[in-house]
Chains A and B, each alone.
Chain A
Amino acid sequence: MEGSVLVFLEHTGKEMASISRELVSEGARLSSLLKVPLTGVAVGHGLEPVLAEMGWYGCDQIYYVEDERLGHFTSMPYAKAVIGIIRKYRPQIVLFGATTTGRDMAPRVASALGCGLTADCTAFRIGDHKTKEREYKNILLQIRPAFGGNIIATIVSPESVPSMATVRQGVLKLSPPDRNRQVVITREMVEFEPNDFLTEIIELIRKEKEVDLQSAHIIVSAGMGAADSHAIELVRELANMLGGAVGASRAAVDSGLLSKDHQIGQTGTTVRPNLYIACGISGQIQHRAGMSESKRIIAINTDPEAPIFQIAHYGIVGDVKEVLSRMIKAYKEKD
């Protein structure tokens, strides 16, 4: 197939969103396997100055739809713009972030085009697919967890042109940026009507997250086994000492110990830090789905049968407060 790999470039109004860098990095990998260009579509107002960065990560060409009414995402006009670009340039693959924007817009785009859309992918491959009737070569294999994280499914859309997918943030690897790499930006005209702009934005409330889990190299995470204020204090102390962030299981968040910003797992944030210390976390599949790719996992739990021990590199059976106090002491006394 000849079409490009097209990536939806998400922005936050003034800057490119970090998911866009991840999508471009992965898109570049796929497009080089397929030997086709990597293109991007951006929809917004006054974005041109910040689009060049997408070239550093591997984007060859960006189709930019500019309109003063497009400064902030709303469903219908953004979907219309992306549909127009896809119809005009006929990519073979289109990738979106599985963000609230991507998950709102991509299904509308797929529906209008009658295309296959796979949600929340965690990996892609290029491969072959055989049915009774024929063999499809070099198509997109879309890998995603389903059923609450209990199965990993490989999905294909062999007859669908393009194949579309959304990808979770924090899952794809960033390429090292090449700041000399140029990208061609072309302005694209899309016909909008007043009826495309039915959603009125009354107010935008930016809420800074309490913690940036995705960029943390070390995460110390609290579960129900760390369910008291002294234990949480120790979790925070160790996280601070190691220069890491505090995470939490869903159970810990639901019980009010830590806010949802700290939640890691299927319905929280997905992380892949160098070190993940699971304190009093049992290791349900939904939690594992959010941290199993961590380079090193230390599990602390009083229950030797806890499922977390089956994915940990280091297991310590013991009381969280005791173990954390020992760790803090040992770290202070090192060298």
Chain B
Amino acid sequence: MPLEIIVFIKQVPDTAHITAEAMQADGTVNRTALPTIINPSDLNALESALQLKDIHGGKITVLTMGPPSAKSALKECFYRGADEVVLISDKAFAGSDTLATSYILKTAVEKIGKYDLIVCGKQAIDGDTAQVGPQIAEKLHINQITFVAEMMEFEVGQRRLKVRRATENGFEILRSPLPMLMTVDDNANEPRPPNIKRIMAYKKAEFGEVEAQFKLWGQASLELPDERCGFSGSPTKVKKVEKVVLTAKDVKQIPNSDDGIRSLIHELCEEHIIG
């Protein structure tokens, strides 16, 4: 039985691979100079959706809230098999924290209307909060299962999804009826590569508001009030940001010799660091 699946993605700076170009003279990272990627666990989220569609049929809509450059991330999802992609973008959304973001995204879900399953990555590698998925679920009043390490079985008759969830203490095997929201970790599956035919057919496609596979929605089309968007809609505010600098410290150089290391061990014993 066909499934209507919504997948949320985020285009993020590649914080795991700081390039020389991105390093500044003062030892800090210039974020805007980092290449952008689709948030890694979001690709796993899309792959989960594609696997369900492979077996049961249906439609996958991928959405992202971001600046115009996020179109390329959405196209990457389309090339992998998404049926429709939506860019949710407006200057009014800038400065949104997770509460404002989840409000905007849940409104987009309501505009789509019908869905059986919503899939997100477990957390974005820039904000690192893991909050938006659960906040969307709460606003839609649907169940959620987070940190899914494996999608095990979709029971067609009962419309229930069985998953393996990873926790600090081990694993949980859980099952929930649809509709629900699931967040997926980067071990959950192997994301498939883009499809060459789809790349060739759609690489020149433009985003527009009208009926098309590449949609663009802003504040007006989602009918969002000013006070719920951007800085106004965000209870959390950044008071201060300090860049982490690799500062030079007074490192005690120990020579790599029997004597050098013996005195180090002696010093550590004297100070009761080791026993």
Contact = CB atoms under 8 A, between A and B. Distances in A.
Given A206-B169, A312-B251, A330-B262, A120 B237 contact: no
A322 interface: yes
Interface stretch (A36-44, A154-162, A179-187): A154-162
A211 B5 CA distance: 39
B230 to A, nearest CB: 15
Given A118-B236, A147-B15, A107 B130 contact: yes
A89 interface: no
Interface residues of B, number: 79
B64 interface: no
A205 B171 contact: yes
Given A108-B144, A314-B254, A334-B265, A202 B241 contact: no
A331 B265 CA distance: 7
Nearest to A83: B138
Interface string A193-207: 000001111111111
B240 A104 contact: no
A156 B237 contact: yes
B256 A153 contact: no
B31 interface: yes
A116 B169 contact: no
A111 B265 contact: no
B238 interface: yes
B197 interface: no
Given A75-B134, A314-B251, A150 B28 contact: yes
B97 interface: yes
Interface in B215-252: 234-244, 246-249, 251-252
B236 A148 contact: no
B256 A322 contact: yes
Contacts of B29: 147, 150
A323 interface: yes
Contacts of A110: 99, 131, 135
B166 to A, nearest CB: 7
Interface in B121-142: 125-135, 137-139
Contacts of A148: 15-16, 125-126, 128
Contacts, number: 244
A259 interface: no
A317 B256 contact: yes
B249 A330 contact: no
B254 A316 contact: yes
B211 interface: no
Contacts of B171: 204-205, 207
A198 B273 CA distance: 51
Interface stretch (A49-57, A95-103, A229-237): A95-103
A285 interface: yes
B174 A199 contact: yes
Given A150-B28, A316-B254, A275 B15 contact: no
Interface of B: 13, 15-16, 18, 28-29, 31, 97-99, 102, 125-135, 137-139, 143-147, 162, 165-177, 180, 234-244, 246-249, 251-258, 260-262, 264-266, 268-269, 273-275
Given A119-B130, A155-B238, 20 more contacts: A75-B143, A100-B146, A101-B167, A107-B130, A108-B134, A110-B99, A114-B235, A116-B99, A141-B239, A146-B128, A148-B16, A155-B236, A207-B170, A207-B171, A284-B18, A298-B254, A315-B252, A315-B254, A316-B256, A326-B258
Interface of A: 12, 74-76, 79, 99-101, 103-108, 110-112, 114-120, 129, 141, 145-160, 169, 198-208, 218, 242-243, 274-275, 284-286, 295-296, 298-299, 307, 309-319, 322-323, 326-327, 329-331, 333-334
17 contacts: A75-B145, A100-B165, A100-B166, A103-B147, A111-B134, A116-B97, A116-B236, A129-B239, A149-B244, A150-B243, A160-B236, A169-B168, A202-B173, A204-B171, A207-B171, A310-B251, A316-B255
